[in-house]
Structure 1
Amino acid sequence: MKTTVYYFTGTGNSLWVSKGLAERLSEKTGMSTDFCRGETELIPIAKVMRNKNPVKCPKGAVGIVCPVYQCGIPLIVSEFIEKADFKLPDYIFIILTYGSHTASAEDIAYDQMKESGRAPDYVNKIKMADNYLPLFTPPSGEKLDSLMKSAEAELEAVAADIAARKKKIPKSGIFADLITKFMYGDLRRKGHAKDKKFHADDSCNGCGTCEKVCPVGNITIENQRPAWHHNCEFCFACLHLCPKKAIQYKNSTKKKPRYKNPEIKISELMRR
């Protein structure tokens, strides 16, 4: 049975999970893996949303893999759920990657899918490195190795659940709901204009990497400097993947290390 995974990624964690799921599901079902065609297909949500045509999800298993942003799901993923037709899939799963905590993000993903007319069968999460640089410092060295090893184990368990078509419905508590209401409410209110606090410092050489890795095409190079056009998904790809570490968010990121999933190449994160 074909599996289609729609994913959104900034610095590679959700792409790593998507690729890992594709490989493991193919192993468990005895089917071949082809990330573009065949039995397991990976589709960038950002690419789908650039196309104005309706989205009709295919038969078989359909998954959504995305990060947690401010205790919720990225705005573009929410918009994708509203746009897509989920009538044909016989099994739907949602996997969230997160750094510090998810609060009620799983519930939000479940509820939005249910409101679209088709509740997901399985919702789960996998802990990864947090790339929200204003508040956190990404792990490196042994800490990152340990985190990736734990993520591998979680990914294996999730893949086994999906292959067995298990059911998992999220249920958060009141405290988590309150945190999400505050944090995700802020993201929903300020939306795509949160890029107003990004800027490039004097070390910027106008190479254009930020323009290429922005999944939604929100950045252009003007007068040898990046310009943000207020369609931001707040993924921080531009900041983390700048080879000069020239892109900053407010004044809180200048001396902090950058992050990219160690098993994903920058070329895989270029907008397609």
Structure 2
Amino acid sequence: MILYFSGTGNSEYAAQQIAAKTDDECLNLFTKIRSQDTRELTSQKPWVIVAPTYAWRIPRIVEEYLHKTKLNGSKKVYFVLTCGGAIGNAEANLKRLCADQGYQFQGCAEVIMPENYIALYSAPNQQEALKIIEAADALLARIAEWIKNGSSIPAQPISFKGKVCSQIINPLFYSLMVKADKFYAKADCVSCGQCVNVCLLNNIRLVNGKPQWGKDCTHCMACICRCPVEAIEYGKHTEGLNRYTCPKKLMDQ
């Protein structure tokens, strides 16, 4: 079974591509995490966890879910992390997670997808994004073959920079950056409530028709990127920047 977490569609697309090639089923973790549903899951096929990379590691909210939820049946677990640049030494943390839970670590694949973390970076336009996704498709096909054949995902060399990013910068990122206080809605907000619906942590509510953010946030960028009128900003950095949702997924629907 393929479990995926996705804020703007990259990891969802990757999960669906792998599922189609392995004849497996996908489970979106959005509802599970949002409702704090940690009931046991069972699959006789290997588990495949597909998620974005947050500061060179799997998102903490996904890691916490995997620690709380028992995966029955197969003990083999594959990880596929989408990213805009690199996953650093995310593998080391995932090996520890598997050891703690009694799972057999089958490797971690790094899949470059279009950048979506517009709180710090810039997202590509649709044409650029499609080129990046096209390049990722070949790797996703290879990952699917490894899973079908029961092979481990080949380990990649980890640089000193990658180790520093995952082990030192990641905690700093969460303590200094992952906050909701810079999000705000402009006057052209149409009070549609889309941001409320896509917030994984139930952190947004409409007050007099305008969204207000609470203290819980995982910086998935769903609210700002899925706003239909681009009325949400993150400080001044996002002014004029492209919003991003996976165009390949949208085109294929």
Q: What are the ranges of 5 or more consecutive residues in structure 2 without an aligned counterpart?
A: none
1:253 aligns with 238
Measured in 1, the distance between the counterparts of 2:7 and 2:205 equals 17
Q: Secondary structure at the match of 2:109?
A: strand
2:218 aligns with 233
Matched residue count: 250
- 2:8 maps to 1:11: yes
- CA gap of 1:160–1:52, structure 2 versus 1, over 3 A, is closer
Measured in 2, the distance between the counterparts of 1:201 and 1:182 equals 35
Q: Is the 8 A contact 1:113 1:120 kept in 2?
A: yes
| TM-score between the two structures when normalised by the length of structure 1 | 0.84
1:61 aligns with 46
1:42 aligns with 26
Aligned letter for 2:20?
E
Aligned letter for 1:17?
A
2:18 aligns with 21
Stretch deviating more after TM superposition (141-150 or 49-58): 49-58
Residue 51 of structure 1: how far off its partner (Å): 4.1
Residue 101 of structure 1: how far off its partner (Å): 1.7
- 2:155 maps to 1:199: no
Please list, as runs of the form range in 1=range in 2, the aligned pairs for 1:1-272 lying within 5 A after superposition: 4-26=1-23, 40-49=24-33, 50-168=35-153, 169=155, 172-189=158-175, 194-265=179-250
Q: Is the 8 A contact 2:75 2:102 kept in 1?
A: no
Measured in 1, the distance between the counterparts of 2:99 and 2:73 equals 15
Q: What are the ranges of 5 or more consecutive residues in structure 1 without an aligned counterpart?
A: 27-39
- CA gap of 1:170–1:113, structure 2 versus 1, over 3 A, is farther
Q: Secondary structure at the match of 2:18?
A: helix
- CA gap of 1:258–1:53, structure 2 versus 1, over 3 A, is closer
Q: After superposition, give the CA deviation of every residue in 1:41-91 in whole Å (9 maximum; x if it has no partner).
A: 211223223244532333221111000011111121111111122352142
| TM-score between the two structures when normalised by the length of structure 2 | 0.90
Q: Is the 8 A contact 1:64 1:93 kept in 2?
A: yes
Residue 177 of structure 1: how far off its partner (Å): 1.1
Measured in 2, the distance between the counterparts of 1:243 and 1:219 equals 16
Query: Over the residues paired in the alignment, what is the CA RMSD in angstroms?
Result: 2.2
